[in-house]
Chain A
């Protein structure tokens, strides 16, 4: 391969004349973390809501929940990103569309909304699965104790279900970090886009993407370690989540 390796590239000044290429990568990392964390908060909240909907007695609410899941889970993320950014503002009334497009950090906000909806559909499926995995007696016992349905979910079902689904939630969290790179298609300068910017300006593509890969791996290791700690902290003896106790 004819390629001039230059690992010193990260110390060189980027074309903006102020920051080094390393700074470019770090700013990309910051956008990646901000986008995935904000998206994750939204995904957890919506995912729990929709996941619960799908376990309620009312068939209409269950169907609404399922429709939501199928809508957001089945359209490729790249397409959703494009739809949210380019199509939705054109469908709105003119003034609202222009307001959306003029927002500062429009790509960031769009990416958060898009990742939030996409991931919430996947979280919802897991929340439903977690609730359904609980012994059926849990719900009946709670209701028999005089708890309302809301209280049953809040104090009994959700706390247990969330513990069970922590490992798949960890995967989803890792996914949202990686998926945030799709936002580069709408102009968000996250980590992958920054690596690309470094290669575009310096033509040192392999160095730029090696660095980005390493940074993604490090971030993911931190997430996995954090979630493992959380799992241990939250484990209840005698429940499914405690693993060996069965």
Chain B
């Protein structure tokens, strides 16, 4: 992973986080699909000062993605319907993955698919590459006709997919859950039981916008996924509920724009956070958030983020975090 600048200051505040076997120098991941391969943002932010990049989701076969328009700006957020445009795993391995070598932050591959078999295949091929530090399993894309999100909406399918990918790699497995379900905690429990090392909570919230002049949906795909500040309370609640249901770490996400937003997720029970849409406003936001988190800990004489994880969550079940260093 190359030389990293650990953000441990003179007074010993440590922002590093461990998720399964994955060590992050900063608790900040960049959300899948929002950050390309990291390369696109490198001119604007020092990648050594973020925890890691979750790559854009990749499928077994190439996908053209959804028709345009694919983006709509909405109050306090945006709708997107990219539709998993990607070159397919073979091309990805041959042409893209080598670019991730020597990145100064963690690189997390994102696996998508339309069958259990797809997930296992893509997961195995990706995880076999040394450039990939961990896997995120995207069972929750709301923008592909029918199948994509079905996995995250059905506890049995969730378990099957997670078991299948677990069976092909020992690398850290993060399973990304959908908010578009009745009971996210039950899905989380299945994912944990099936071998997930961590959960990413949440993917985008289904939404729609209509053009009142043309009397037509604004997105080429009709519906899309809502992200940004608009979904933050939904995401904080999801983290709160999932944190009471499982013992594995949670990567909280959904509308994080400031350190205060990040703290809400940590206090609800997330061990790390992910930032997507806020990078579109200002790519330096993740670095600012990390710096402010450090200051927050310092001012309270705390040494590590583990000491605040879940502190606002009364029924917090995350023993992993409770055992964190209270020093």
- A interacts with B: no
Interface, chain A (partner B; CB < 8 A): none
